[in-house]
């Protein structure tokens, strides 16, 4: 025996039952998301403070390693003068000692001099210390500056650690929140950087970072489980709730039913994607509006619901 074919009215009864069942459930779900929204706002403030502080500390450390102090600059200029004198001495010796090959040494030292004069910083000095040593040239000022600015190596290391942590956790608020909620080691990563800042003498930067570390002990607000709502808000077409459409005329009922089906799909997507309060509330508002339009039409057109069909003769308008 074949199963009875559902009329559009039968399908509406099922849709109406769906919305009635969902009302209390969805209100509770959205209320939990609203409460969670407070925690999300706190997450966002925490994220923005941490991201801003990390960026500022990186800039400060970069500035500290780029520029010489006044005393360091004096030492650097003195070392550069000595290097220039050494080059001049070799050029003079080359005039009187044609047997020795001074040209290679003069060229290498000359390149070093030009680069140092153009880029007066510790990185440039370090890149030429080996070259000078291989040519038998020892510039005490350069050696002293390299040893004195070892802390700048630690600054570079800390900047790299911050950049790595920033790339891992602070690229977007969504990634930061999901990392925290998944129990990833966000706090420990930034705590290790803070400890290194303190150990290397960057006390102010250490204090600044400590003040904005993630609060892992704070209550975060768990996301409610959407499964019960997904069980209620079933897809319209695959659940055989899509209205029949007349072949002879436009069907307003069919059009409104399709709009409702789209709103159901949008609501399901919001639930499946784990959207927060505002996104889920918007999806439900859209669904309610689509249902209200469909319900209003049905109650106006079907006498079983108290309405009056256009072709009413005391029986159901089966074409709708």
Q: What is the DSSP string of 217-280?
A: TS---PPPP-HHHHHHS--TTTTT-SPP--SSS--HHHHHHHHHHHHHHHHHHHHHTT--HHHH
Please count the CA atoms within 13 angstroms of the CA of 282 that sit on its side-chain side: 8
Region 104-117: mean pLDDT is 90
Query: Rounded to an integer, what distance in angstroms lies between the CA atom of residue 116 and that of residue 195?
Result: 35
Q: What percent of the chain has pLDDT over 70?
A: 86
- Residue 2 in this model has a pLDDT that exceeds 60: no
Confidence of residue 146 (pLDDT cuts 50, 70, 90): confident
Residue 177 lies in a domain: yes
- Number of domains present in the structure of the chain: 2
**Burial, 227: exposed, middle or buried (Cβ in 10 Å; 0-12, 13-18, 19+)?**
exposed
| Packed helices 186-199 and 150-169: angle between N→C axes, nearest 10 degrees | 170
Q: Could you tell me which of 130, 124, 132, 131 has the C-alpha nearest to residue 149? A: 124
Check residue 315 and give its pLDDT: 46
Query: Rounded to an integer, what distance in angstroms lies between the CA atom of residue 58 and that of residue 291?
Result: 54
Supply 117's token pair: 């004069």
CB burial string 178-200: b at 16+ within 10 A, e below: ebbeeeeebeebbeebbebbeeb
- Residue 249 in this model has a pLDDT that exceeds 60: no
Name the domain boundary from 198, 221, 244: 221
Would you say 151 and 197 are in contact if contact means Cβ atoms under 8 Å apart?
Answer: no
Q: Give the helix/strand (H/E) hosting 103.
A: helix 103-118
Q: Which DSSP state fits 4?
A: P
Residue 44 lies in a domain: no
Residue 194 lies in a domain: yes
Name the domain boundary from 172, 195, 221: 221
Residue 103 lies in a domain: yes
Flag whether the pTM goes above 0.75.
no
Q: Could you tell me which of 50, 67, 61, 63 has the C-alpha nearest to residue 154? A: 61
- 171 & 289 share domain: no
- 58 & 203 share domain: yes
Mean pLDDT of the chain: 85
Check residue 179 and give its pLDDT: 86
Query: Rounded to an integer, what distance in angstroms lies between the CA atom of residue 228 and that of residue 234?
Result: 11
Check residue 216 and give its pLDDT: 64
- 295 & 200 share domain: no
Confidence of residue 307 (pLDDT cuts 50, 70, 90): low
- 212 & 138 share domain: yes
- Residue 138 in this model has a pLDDT that exceeds 80: yes
Check residue 217 and give its pLDDT: 60
Residue 171 lies in a domain: yes
Residue 311 lies in a domain: no
In tens, the pLDDT along 34-73 reads 988 888 888 899 999 999 999 999 998 877 665 677 788 8
Residue 102 lies in a domain: yes
Check residue 318 and give its pLDDT: 44
- 237 & 103 share domain: no
Supply 4's token pair: 């009875």
For residue 150, give its domain range: 51-221
Query: Rounded to an integer, what distance in angstroms lies between the CA atom of residue 32 and that of residue 36?
Result: 6
Region 88-113: mean pLDDT is 83
Query: Rounded to an integer, what distance in angstroms lies between the CA atom of residue 214 and that of residue 261?
Result: 42
Query: Rounded to an integer, what distance in angstroms lies between the CA atom of residue 28 and that of residue 25?
Result: 5
Check residue 311 and give its pLDDT: 55
In tens, the pLDDT along 262-279 reads 999 999 999 999 998 999
Region 227-250: mean pLDDT is 85
- 117 & 206 share domain: yes
- 186 & 257 share domain: no
Those residues whose C-beta lies under 8 Å from the C-beta of residue 305, and which sit 6 or more positions away, are: 9, 298, 299
Region 119-137: mean pLDDT is 85
- 59 & 129 share domain: yes
Check residue 228 and give its pLDDT: 96
Top pLDDT among 29 and 6 is at 29
Residue 43 lies in a domain: no
Check residue 3 and give its pLDDT: 57
Name the domain boundary from 161, 188, 221: 221
- 199 & 262 share domain: no
Q: What percent of the chain has pLDDT over 90?
A: 45
- 20 & 158 share domain: no
Query: Rounded to an integer, what distance in angstroms lies between the CA atom of residue 103 and that of residue 269?
Result: 74
- 58 & 164 share domain: yes
- 210 & 67 share domain: yes
Q: Could you tell me which of 139, 119, 120 has the C-alpha nearest to residue 129? A: 139
Would you say 254 and 293 are in contact if contact means Cβ atoms under 8 Å apart?
Answer: no
């Amino acid at each position: 025996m074949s199963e009875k074919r559902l009329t559009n009215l039968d399908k509406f009864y099922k849709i109406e039952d769906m919305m009635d069942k969902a009302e209390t459930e969805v209100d509770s779900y959205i209320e939990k998301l609203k409460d969670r929204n407070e925690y999300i706002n706190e997450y966002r403030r925490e994220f923005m403070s941490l991201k801003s502080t990390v960026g500022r500390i990186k800039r400060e450390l970069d500035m500290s390693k780029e520029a010489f102090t006044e005393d360091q600059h004096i030492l650097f200029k003195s070392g550069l003068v000595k290097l220039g004198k050494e080059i001049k001495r070799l050029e003079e010796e080359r005039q009187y000692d044609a047997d020795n090959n001074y040209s290679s040494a003069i060229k290498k030292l000359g390149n070093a001099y030009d680069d140092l004069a153009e880029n007066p910083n510790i990185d440039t000095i370090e890149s030429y210390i080996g070259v000078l040593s291989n040519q038998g040239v020892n510039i005490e000022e350069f050696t002293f500056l390299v040893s004195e600015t070892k802390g700048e190596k630690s600054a570079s290391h800390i900047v790299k650690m911050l950049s790595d942590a920033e790339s891992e956790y602070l690229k977007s608020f969504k990634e930061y929140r999901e990392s925290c909620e998944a129990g990833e080691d966000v706090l420990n990563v930034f705590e290790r950087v803070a400890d290194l800042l303190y150990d290397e003498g960057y006390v102010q930067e250490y204090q600044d970072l400590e003040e904005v570390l993630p609060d892992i002990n704070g209550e975060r607000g768990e996301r409610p489980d959407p499964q019960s709502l997904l069980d209620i808000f079933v897809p319209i077409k695959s659940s055989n709730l899509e209205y029949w459409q007349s072949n002879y005329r436009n069907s307003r009922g069919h059009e409104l039913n399709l709009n409702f089906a789209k709103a159901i799909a949008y609501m399901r997507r919001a639930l499946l994607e784990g959207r927060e309060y505002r996104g889920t509330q918007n999806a439900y508002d859209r669904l309610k509006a689509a249902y209200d339009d469909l319900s209003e039409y049905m109650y106006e057109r079907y006498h079983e619901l108290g309405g009056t069909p256009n072709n009413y003769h005391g029986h159901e308008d089966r074409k709708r």
